[in-house]
C-alpha cells in the first residue's frame, strides 16, 4: 500500500466517523433537533480564520474557496479521499 492509498483510507474513515457521530447525536436529540448539523471547516475552526477569502482579487477563485470551506466536512473528506486514490492510481502507473 502506498502513502496515497493510506491517506485516502484514513480520509474516508474520518468521513464515516463524522457521519456516524452526527447521526448518533441527532438521534439522541429532541424532535426539533433531528436534522443533521452541517459541520464545515468554518464551523470547526472559526470564521475569523477565513477572513482572508474576502480579500482575494479573483471573484471566481474567491467563490470556489468559499464553497470549499463551507461545504460539509464529511463530504470534503470524502472528496479528498477520492483525490488521494486517484493520485495513488496515477503514481502506480508510472
pLDDT in tens, 42-77: 988 988 999 898 888 889 999 999 999 999 999 999
φ, ψ (nearest 5 deg) of residue 11: -65, -45
Instruction: List the one residue out of 76, 82, 89 whose CA is nearest residue 39.
Output: 76
Domain holding 56, by residue range, is 3-93
Three-state secondary structure call for residue 87: helix
In the structure grid, which three cell numbers stand for residue 36, read together?
A: 443533521
Q: What is the DSSP letter of 7?
A: H
Three-state secondary structure call for residue 82: helix
The number of domains in the chain is 1
Give the span between the Cα atoms of 21 and 36, in whole angstroms.
10
Of the candidate ranges 25-29, 44-48, 65-69, 78-82, the one whose mean pLDDT is the lowest: 25-29
Percent of the residues in the chain that have a pLDDT greater than 70, as a whole number: 90
Amino acid at each position: 500500500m502506498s502513502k496515497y492509498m493510506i491517506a485516502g483510507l484514513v480520509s474516508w474513515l474520518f468521513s464515516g466517523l463524522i457521519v456516524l457521530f452526527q447521526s448518533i447525536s441527532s438521534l439522541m436529540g429532541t424532535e426539533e433537533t433531528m436534522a443533521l448539523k452541517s459541520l464545515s471547516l468554518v464551523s470547526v475552526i472559526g470564521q475569523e480564520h477565513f477572513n482572508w477569502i474576502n480579500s482575494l482579487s479573483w471573484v471566481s477563485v474567491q467563490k470556489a474557496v468559499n464553497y470549499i470551506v463551507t461545504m460539509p466536512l464529511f463530504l470534503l473528506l470524502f472528496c479528498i479521499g477520492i483525490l488521494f486514490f486517484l493520485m495513488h492510481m496515477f503514481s502506480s502507473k508510472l
